[in-house]
Amino acid sequence: MQRAQEAEFGSVASELRIAICDDWEQCALSRADWGELQQLADIQFFSAPFQSAEDAIRRLADFDAICLMRERTAFPKEVIDQLPRLKRLLFTGERNAAVDIAHARSLGIEVSGTASGANKASTAEHTWALILAATRRIVPAMQAAQQGHWRPADDARYPLPDVLEGDRIGVIGLGAIGSRVARIAQGFGMEVVAWSQNLTDQQAASLGVRRVEKNELIATSKVISLHLVLSDRTRAVIGQTEYSLMRRDALLVNTSRSGLIDQEGLIAALDSGRPGHAALDVFDQEPIAKNHPLLTHPCVTHTPHLGYVAAPVMETFYRQLAGDLTVWSRRWLESNTASEGYRPASSDSGVTPSAIKKRDTIL
């Protein structure tokens, strides 16, 4: 059913308003040219997370077009229904499980994503950054040196760095990212095994990888790295049973989706010694609560969901958003305001990339 098109279509006294949400890196202005779009619409950048669904609804109620960064802000039916002015919804990346796309389109809202650019390469590289940081004990060594200790002085339990060559890595999900992680592991001289529900022996062998059953992978791998799409079938693919099978020196790595593992159960599993360590880039709630026990657990290396966060990826995202919005804005204004004597907004705003330092920046 089409959403009723109310008074905002009847006058151009109120210009098109566009919200660029989730610019947590405060890089949107510097990664794309917004000048042409600026002449067509008021643009507002949101560089801090919304505190709740109600906060998002309140702050976004007066926008005609809304852009989301990946799955940082959820847009279920309940949010979409409270945004009657919304006509265009964009998100970065090729899919978004946090947006009710079907419902939005049923209301006549145009919905689309963007290309992913170097996203998969970035995530694979970040996976290995976490693997090496955890196994080589990079973070505690750096922190000790910053405190004046060439070696950690007060913690006799501090483990020595590890060597991965000759050991086994288990890759769960051998798709575009998992296969990259596997190739890098081979470069380190590791034995690579893999498993997923659909993986065949032939597919694995074509990448120089051996397919094994899930429990064998979990019980025998030094590093276990997750690279699955989150779905009903893959949710909690790693839970209490799987934790109990892991080696005591195992490293569990998750740069995919937090729902693939039992995150709350992971704390107890780490305390029991299986796995020995976890390297995490994704969490059940993001941003994660400041007092969450995973942040200070001695057996966790973590980053704040940086897998896809890289300069070329952000350039791909924001340049396509700016281009798509410019085309859409011109089309919408031509079809809805031609008879109203519309005059575009001035492009002389004086806004520079440094202006994004404010929480909300209007172009």
pLDDT single digits (tens) 219-241: 999 999 999 999 999 999 999 99
From the CB of residue 151, how many other CB atoms can be counted at a distance below 10 Å?
A: 8
The helix/strand/coil state of 17 is: strand
pLDDT in tens, 90-142: 999 999 999 999 999 999 999 999 999 999 999 999 999 999 999 999 998 99
Name the catalytic one among 17, 247, 302, 305.
Answer: 305
So what's the pLDDT on residue 151? Answer: 81
H or E, element range at 89: strand 88-91
Token code pair at residue 317: 């995202």
Q: Domains plus CATH for the chain?
A: 7-117+310-362 (3.40.50.720), 119-302 (3.40.50.720)
pLDDT in tens, 299-332: 999 999 999 999 999 999 999 999 999 999 999 9
Is 286 labeled as catalytic in the residue annotation?
yes
Amino acid at 347: S
Name the catalytic one among 286, 331, 340, 359.
Answer: 286
So what's the pLDDT on residue 15? Answer: 84
Report the C-alpha dihedral over residues 313, 317, 318, 324, rounded to 10 degrees: 150
315: left (phi over 0), alpha (psi -120 to 50) or beta: alpha
Is 277 labeled as catalytic in the residue annotation?
no
**Any idea which residue has 């004990």 for tokens?**
137
**pTM: predicted TM-score of the whole model, two decimal places:** 0.87
Instruction: Read off the pLDDT band of 276 (50, 70, 90).
Output: very high
Is 302 labeled as catalytic in the residue annotation?
no
Q: Is the pLDDT of residue 157 over 70?
A: no
Centroid of chain to Cα 264: 20
Name the catalytic one among 31, 168, 257, 302.
Answer: 257
Contact of 170 with 193, CB cutoff 8 Å = yes
Residues 6+ apart with CB under 8 A from 344: 39, 40
Residues 6+ apart with CB under 8 A from 314: 25, 27, 28, 31
204 vs 291: CA distance, rounded Å: 41
Share of the chain above pLDDT 90, in %: 83
